């Protein structure tokens, strides 16, 4: 625990050590972690594989951008508006949740993918949201990596706290019961519909806030970047890599995946996708329970 | 990369105050992701300590890179960024190389005016996406300024599979020229259906689609006479007062990259490097402020065409689109006269 606190103190100090490239790198590490926690709350706990999770990231970014455009004159730190992005994403999950969570398995995965693409197309045809040319924000916000970085940290700690709570609550047991056998869970008295929607709404919030924070940092959002399917895949991979449905899995998975990606991009310029792909295949083949699963088995053996 | 080769092997570096500087390009794959762009440009600036930056491809990623560059007081030369809006955000550190979207169709109107002083009526039809809309709005303004009547100005959904109702309305206005379009599929459809419905005009100029070899493959001889704008073509023939000739660029590029003919993307990348090189030579310094000031008074004639920026914003004002026309199955540059290799075939005979 102490080492964990030490590590966090060190990480939080990064922006104050003067290297903005280190700050921006760790920003994307935090992003992966938060998004992995976000999808873990739904997919990790209930087993509903969400292939359109990026829709919440995108909605959060757009809602935040609209807030920034409308209220930048108030002079508050723009990162505050990312909370509105999270709430908007949750609202969308609430409306969408009841119908879409009735579908199970592969059908659910395909439906969520469809929803995400549909929202993206609707936005790129809405002139008020910049249409296919996106929304530039540079005129309203100052480029402020430190604020962005600290906002991401707050978000990460909140996501961890919520996951910790869920993992040890009746709610969390209910979600796991749904994952193991939804019909049995229902017979046992779990309000499966309510539980699933609640998990969906919670997970949407974190992705939404993350989208908002990134929208402000990149000073420009468009549907291509903020609704890309590959972002959903990254979230799923980070979660699986760390260990799904666990407390520390998304943290470890997000950390390893983001650094792996960055390292391959920087040092193996043109081959990075290939190398990255091979590493992922190996991980999935040999670490099906994720890194946390392996650690657990080790400690059990040792213990 | 071709530019790096040019500086280091042909001009033997960039001479600044008696010292020769050689170009070292540092580049990463941004995976078309804004979040990667932030991290990678931060890395370029603070870790790799580059002196000057180029934008990534596309306006969206360009915004993000420009924001990071501005926060570090770095100069960034834009290439592959066509949106006018980037120069309306208050950045002063972004230098434009290519013609912005609002001027994409302007050369077509110049051509029409020159070849047919009696032409009066222009119909503009465009795909409903922001890029095409910007091009169309720019064309409308310019037509009106030059005394033309815009007899039809209308859009169609970017995914349209039937343009007959739009074309029927266009036909009723009996235009001299029909310009607009959007993307590949709708551009081809526009011409196909114009023929079916016997919609005639003396000039057709269609965005994006006409530039592709597949345009002729899809339409066959119906593609003849159709024109379209392009940033650059391998056959352009500008008078060059700075940098290599067009022929040198095309043949060197093909030698370096497996005999592939360069597209305008490659040409604009090379032009951006060349533009920066000229500014550094003029400033006789690697200092950002001095090089930025040198850009203000720099006016070049390159293989890519003339280059000059608006001093206040950095937007490109001199470079103009070339117009290509399909002539007997061959795509030829017909405008501007300084770059043309053939005369435009005008007017287009009825279908």
Tell me, yes or no, whether B7 and B142 share the same domain.
no
Tell me, yes or no, whether B97 and B109 share the same domain.
no
CB-nearest to B38 from A19, A132, A217 is A217
**At B279, which CATH number?**
3.40.50.2300
Look at residue B72 in the predicted model and tell me its pLDDT: 92
Reported as a pLDDT band with limits 50, 70 and 90, residue B86 is confident
CA dist A163 and B282 (Å) reads 60
**Domain contains B314:** no
CB atoms within 10 A of CB A204: 31
**Domain contains B29:** yes
Query: Residue B301: pLDDT above 60?
Result: yes
Look at residue A301 in the predicted model and tell me its pLDDT: 53
Look at residue A2 in the predicted model and tell me its pLDDT: 52
Tell me, yes or no, whether B172 and B298 share the same domain.
no
Look at residue A12 in the predicted model and tell me its pLDDT: 64
The whole model's pTM is what?
A: 0.83
Query: Residue B179: pLDDT above 60?
Result: yes
Q: Which one, of B266, B315, B314, lies nearest residue B291 by Cα? A: B314
Look at residue A268 in the predicted model and tell me its pLDDT: 77
Q: Is B33's CB within 8 Å of A265's CB? A: no
> What are the CA-CA distances from residue A146 to residues A52, A77, A154 (Å)?
30, 12, 12
As a whole number, mean pLDDT of residues B155-180 equals 92
**Domain contains A16:** no
Instruction: For residue A189, give every residue at least 6 positions away whose Cβ sits within 8 Å of its Cβ, in sequence order, or none.
Output: none
CB-nearest to B35 from A31, A131, A222 is A31
- Find residues 200-219 of chain A whose CB sits inside 8 Å of chain B: 214, 217-219
Tell me, yes or no, whether B327 and B207 share the same domain.
yes
Work out whether strand A135-136 and strand B53-54 pair parallel, antiparallel, or are unpaired: unpaired
CB-nearest to B71 from A21, A134, A143 is A143
Sign of CA dihedral B299, B301, B302, B305: positive
Tell me, yes or no, whether B154 and B87 share the same domain.
no
pLDDT in tens, A62-74: 999 999 999 988 8
As a whole number, mean pLDDT of residues A182-192 equals 92
Q: Is A218's CB within 8 Å of B64's CB? A: yes
Look at residue A302 in the predicted model and tell me its pLDDT: 45
**A111: containing domain:** 23-302
* Interface test mutation site (partner B, options A20, A61, A228, A271, max chain B beta carbons within 10 A): A20
Rounded to a whole number, what is the distance in Å from the CA of A20 to chain B's nearest CA? 6
- Token output for B350: 């009825």
**Domain contains A74:** yes
| Arithmetic mean of pLDDT over chain A | 88
pLDDT in tens, A88-128: 999 999 999 989 999 988 999 999 999 999 999 899 888 88
As a whole number, mean pLDDT of residues B325-349 equals 93
> What are the CA-CA distances from residue A12 to residues A5, A27, A28, B304, B307 (Å)?
10, 11, 14, 48, 46
Tell me, yes or no, whether B113 and B212 share the same domain.
yes
Tell me, yes or no, whether B229 and B271 share the same domain.
no
Tell me, yes or no, whether B176 and B154 share the same domain.
yes
Look at residue A79 in the predicted model and tell me its pLDDT: 93
Look at residue A70 in the predicted model and tell me its pLDDT: 92
Tally of structural domains, chain B: 2
**DSSP 8-class letter at B197:** T
**Domain contains A8:** no
Look at residue A303 in the predicted model and tell me its pLDDT: 34
Look at residue A5 in the predicted model and tell me its pLDDT: 60
CB-nearest to A133 from B32, B35, B130 is B130
Look at residue A8 in the predicted model and tell me its pLDDT: 63
Tally of structural domains, chain A: 1
Give Cα B276 to chain centroid, integer Å.
Answer: 18
**Domain contains B178:** yes
**Domain contains A217:** yes
CA dist B291 and A85 (Å) reads 41
Q: Which one, of A171, A141, A175, lies nearest residue A61 by Cα? A: A141
Reported as a pLDDT band with limits 50, 70 and 90, residue B34 is confident
Please calculate the CA angle B301-B302-B307 and round it to the nearest 5 degrees.
60
Query: Residue B138: pLDDT above 90?
Result: yes
* Interface test mutation site (partner B, options A14, A18, A19, A21, max chain B beta carbons within 10 A): A21
CB-nearest to A138 from B36, B63, B131 is B63
Sign of CA dihedral A143, A149, A154, A157: positive
Q: Is B59 touching A (CB cutoff 8 A)?
A: yes
Residues of chain B in contact with residue A133, where contact means CB-CB under 8 angstroms, are 59, 83, 85, 129-131, 134
Q: Is B46 touching A (CB cutoff 8 A)?
A: yes
Query: Residue B206: pLDDT above 60?
Result: yes
Q: Which chain A residue shows the shortest CA-CA distance from B30? A: A265
As a whole number, mean pLDDT of residues B282-289 equals 94
**At A250, which CATH number?**
1.10.3470
Q: Percent of chain A, pLDDT > 90?
A: 55
Q: Establish, for the pair of chains A and B, how many residue pairs have beta carbons separated by less than 8 Å.
A: 118
Tell me, yes or no, whether B141 and B25 share the same domain.
no
CB-nearest to A136 from B35, B37, B85 is B85
Tell me, yes or no, whether B265 and B210 share the same domain.
no
Q: Is B90's CB within 8 Å of A138's CB? A: yes
Q: Tell me, what's the ipTM? A: 0.80
Tell me, yes or no, whether B116 and B192 share the same domain.
yes
Q: Is B115 touching A (CB cutoff 8 A)?
A: no
Q: Is A132 touching B (CB cutoff 8 A)?
A: yes
Tell which wins on pLDDT, B294 or A245: B294
pLDDT in tens, A123-167: 988 888 987 778 888 888 888 889 999 999 999 999 999 999 999
Residues of chain B in contact with residue A257, where contact means CB-CB under 8 angstroms, are none
Work out whether strand B94-96 and strand B76-78 pair parallel, antiparallel, or are unpaired: parallel
Sign of CA dihedral A176, A182, A187, A189: positive
| Arithmetic mean of pLDDT over chain B | 92
Q: Is B33's CB within 8 Å of A225's CB? A: yes
**Domain contains A125:** yes
Look at residue A9 in the predicted model and tell me its pLDDT: 61
Q: Is A234 touching B (CB cutoff 8 A)?
A: no
Q: Is A117 touching B (CB cutoff 8 A)?
A: no
**Domain contains B196:** yes
**Domain contains B287:** yes
Reported as a pLDDT band with limits 50, 70 and 90, residue A280 is confident
**B294: containing domain:** 2-101+239-303
**Domain contains B220:** yes
**Domain contains A9:** no
**Domain contains B312:** no
**Domain contains B315:** no
Mean pLDDT check: name the lowest of A21-25, A83-87, A204-208, B330-334.
A21-25
């Amino acid at each position: 625990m102490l080492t964990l606190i030490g590590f966090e103190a060190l990480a939080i100090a990064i922006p104050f050590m003067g290297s903005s490239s280190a700050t921006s790198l760790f920003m994307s590490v935090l992003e992966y972690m938060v998004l992995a926690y976000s999808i873990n709350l739904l997919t990790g706990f209930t087993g509903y594989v969400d292939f359109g999770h990026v829709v919440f990231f995108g909605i959060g970014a757009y809602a935040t951008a609209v807030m920034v455009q409308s209220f930048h004159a108030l002079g508050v730190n723009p990162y505050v508006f990312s909370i509105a992005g999270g709430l908007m994403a949750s609202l969308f999950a609430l409306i969408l949740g009841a119908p879409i969570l009735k579908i199970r398995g592969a059908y659910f995965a395909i439906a969520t993918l469809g929803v995400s693409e549909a929202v993206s197309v609707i936005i790129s045809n809405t002139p008020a949201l910049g249409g296919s040319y996106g929304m530039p924000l540079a005129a309203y916000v100052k480029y402020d990596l430190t604020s962005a970085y600290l906002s991401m940290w707050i978000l990460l700690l909140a996501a961890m706290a919520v996951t910790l709570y869920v993992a040890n609550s009746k709610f969390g047991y209910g979600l796991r019961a749904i994952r193991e056998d939804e019909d049995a869970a229902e017979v046992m008295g779990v309000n499966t519909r309510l539980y699933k929607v609640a998990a969906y709404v919670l997970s949407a919030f974190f992705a939404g806030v993350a989208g908002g924070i990134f929208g402000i940092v990149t000073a420009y959002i468009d549907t291509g970047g903020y609704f890309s399917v590959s972002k959903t895949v990254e979230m799923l991979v980070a979660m699986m890599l760390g260990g799904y449905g666990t407390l520390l899995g998304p943290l470890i998975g997000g950390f390893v995946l983001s650094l792996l990606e960055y390292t391959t991009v920087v040092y193996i310029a043109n081959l990075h996708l290939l190398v990255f792909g091979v590493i992922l295949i190996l991980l999935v083949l040999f670490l099906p329970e994720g890194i946390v699963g392996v650690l657990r088995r080790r400690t059990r053996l040792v213990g | 990369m071709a530019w790096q080769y040019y500086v280091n092997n042909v001009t033997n570096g960039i001479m600044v105050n008696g010292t020769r500087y050689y170009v070292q390009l540092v580049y990463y794959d941004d995976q078309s992701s804004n979040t990667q762009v932030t991290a990678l440009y931060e890395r370029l600036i603070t870790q790799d300590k580059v002196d000057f930056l180029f934008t990534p491809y596309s306006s969206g990623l360009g915004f993000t890179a420009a924001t990071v560059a501005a926060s570090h007081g770095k100069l960034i030369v834009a290439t592959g960024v066509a949106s006018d809006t980037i120069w309306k955000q208050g950045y002063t550190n972004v230098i434009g190389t290519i013609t912005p979207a609002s001027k994409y169709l302007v050369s077509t109107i110049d051509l029409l005016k020159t070849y047919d002083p009696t032409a009066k009526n222009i119909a503009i039809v465009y795909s409903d996406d922001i890029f095409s809309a910007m091009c169309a709005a720019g064309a409308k303004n310019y037509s009106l300024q030059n005394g033309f009547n815009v007899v039809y100005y209308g859009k169609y959904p970017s995914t349209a599979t039937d343009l007959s109702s739009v074309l029927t309305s266009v036909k009723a206005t009996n235009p001299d020229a029909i310009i607009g379009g959007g993307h590949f599929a709708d551009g081809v459809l526009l011409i196909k259906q114009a023929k079916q419905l016997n919609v005639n005009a003396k000039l057709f100029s269609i965005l994006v689609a006409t530039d592709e070899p597949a345009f002729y493959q899809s339409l066959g001889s119906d593609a003849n006479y159709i024109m379209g704008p392009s940033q650059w073509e391998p056959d352009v023939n500008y008078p060059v007062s700075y940098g290599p000739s067009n022929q040198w660029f095309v043949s060197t590029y093909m030698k370096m990259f497996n005999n592939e003919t360069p597209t305008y993307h490659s040409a604009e990348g090379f032009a951006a490097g060349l533009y920066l090189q000229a500014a550094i030579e003029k400033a006789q310094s690697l200092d950002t402020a001095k090089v930025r000031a040198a850009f203000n008074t720099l006016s070049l004639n390159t293989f890519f065409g003339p280059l000059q920026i608006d001093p206040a914003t950095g937007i490109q004002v001199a470079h103009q689109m070339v117009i290509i026309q399909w002539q007997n199955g061959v795509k030829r540059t017909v405008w501007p006269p300084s770059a043309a290799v053939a005369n435009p075939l005008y007017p287009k005979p009825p279908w």
